[in-house]
A = this chain, B = another copy of it.
Amino acid sequence: MNNLLNKIINDTKIYANQGEVATYIPELSKMNKNISGIVVVDMENNIYSAGDTNIKFTIQSMSNIVTLILALMDHGEKVFDKVGKEPSGDPFNSLKRLTNINTHKPFNPMINAGSITITSMVKANNKEERIERIIKLIKDLSGNKDIEINMDVYNSELKTGDKNRSIAYFLKDKNILEGEVCDVLDTYFKQCSIEINCFDLANIGATLANDGISTISGKRIVPSEYATIAKAFMFTCGMYDDSGEFAVEVGIPAKSGVSGGIFCSVPNKMGIGVLGPSLDKKGNSIVGIEMLKILTNEKKLCIFN
């Protein structure tokens, strides 16, 4: 497997030139678009890796899976009274569908409108406690106790967060978002600024692949049914408005972030974490997708085969 991963790293380097590093958050634009890394963790906790696997980057919208799990643990499926389950076919940060439909209910928990709403549903006495719960679950899912927020990215998010403010006030006006808009967005910007690496992503994916039980500690981190729901949303909505394409061309549950990371959860087989900061037009890692195509094909991971 390590040989395969090394080959994958080498064979996909060239794709980095076809995209660009995210620029809408200044801090993200500092990343080197030519780095790439991949980590695989199987159900026996064997770890395989290649490339730039120790580089830290922010979790961005990959955190949406974490907050969704927390909200489900807090409220059960009542979460879906506020947020739908359907792919939207629109860019993740779009207000278009939200303003076009009569209910104004966010289409799913993966687009910004949905994930901001989900964040507001994570129970806590105050915003400090809310972000602590989110960090705690990421630590448990990844088995890494040193998870923390990158404050430079957080400050960068604060400065460029007007689109998310527009979305949040829209949801507040429609009584979908509860609580103070400023507090909810503070948590949201912080959760997106949590730093992880490819090992963390692979471990998060492995825990979900293993029915919610950590392959490191053997402890149940997530109830089985919510691990299933998390994988379902990763599959249908995890790759922004390219999720359908990814389902056809790759075919495994995956969640992407604009930092260039993707984590995957192949049921009962493995967790995968990849990094490649060069993004395509939909906001997904170009090199990351190419790596996953090869790995999925070689190891016959597609869930429809």
A contact residues vs B (CB 8 Å cutoff): 84-90, 94-100, 102, 107-108, 162-163, 165-170, 172-173, 181, 211, 228-229, 231-233, 235-237, 241-245, 247-248, 251, 253, 267-268, 302-305
Instruction: State whether A169 and B162 are in contact (beta carbons under 8 Å apart), knowing that A248-B85, A253-B304 are contacts in the complex.
Output: yes
A247 near B228: Cβ-Cβ < 8 Å: no
Alpha-carbon distance A304/B269, docked complex (angstroms): 11
A85 near B235: Cβ-Cβ < 8 Å: no
Q: Shortest Cβ distance from A30 into chain B, in angstroms?
A: 22
Contacts of A305 in B (CB 8 A): 211, 228, 267-268
Instruction: State whether A232 and B253 are in contact (beta carbons under 8 Å apart), knowing that A169-B162, A169-B163, A169-B166 are contacts in the complex.
Output: no
Q: Shortest Cβ distance from A66 into chain B, in angstroms?
A: 17
Instruction: State whether A304 and B89 are in contact (beta carbons under 8 Å apart), knowing that A95-B170, A162-B169, A162-B172 are contacts in the complex.
Output: no
Contacts of A232 in B (CB 8 A): 247-248, 251, 304
Alpha-carbon distance A163/B104, docked complex (angstroms): 13
Alpha-carbon distance A276/B45, docked complex (angstroms): 45
Alpha-carbon distance A89/B181, docked complex (angstroms): 27
A173 near B166: Cβ-Cβ < 8 Å: yes
A86 near B241: Cβ-Cβ < 8 Å: yes
A229 near B244: Cβ-Cβ < 8 Å: no
Closest to A84 in B: B244
What would 20 A/B residue contacts be, using CB atoms closer than 8 Å? Answer: A86-B89, A86-B244, A87-B243, A87-B244, A89-B89, A89-B90, A89-B97, A96-B99, A102-B102, A166-B169, A166-B170, A228-B302, A228-B304, A229-B248, A232-B247, A232-B248, A235-B235, A236-B244, A253-B304, A303-B303
Most buried by B among A100, A168, A173, A242: A173
Contacts of A304 in B (CB 8 A): 228, 231-232, 235, 253, 267, 303
- A169 interface neighbour in B86, B165, B228, B248, Cβ under 8 Å: B165
Contacts of A236 in B (CB 8 A): 87, 236, 243-244, 247-248
Contacts of A173 in B (CB 8 A): 162-163, 166
Contacts of A237 in B (CB 8 A): 244
B253 near A235: Cβ-Cβ < 8 Å: no
- Apart from A86-B242, A108-B244, list 17 A-B contacts with CB within 8 A: A85-B248, A86-B87, A87-B244, A88-B89, A89-B90, A89-B97, A95-B170, A96-B99, A98-B99, A99-B99, A162-B173, A163-B170, A163-B173, A166-B169, A228-B305, A229-B248, A268-B305
Contacts of A167 in B (CB 8 A): 166
Contacts of A253 in B (CB 8 A): 304
Instruction: State whether A99 and B94 are in contact (beta carbons under 8 Å apart), knowing that A162-B172, A166-B173, A247-B232 are contacts in the complex.
Output: yes
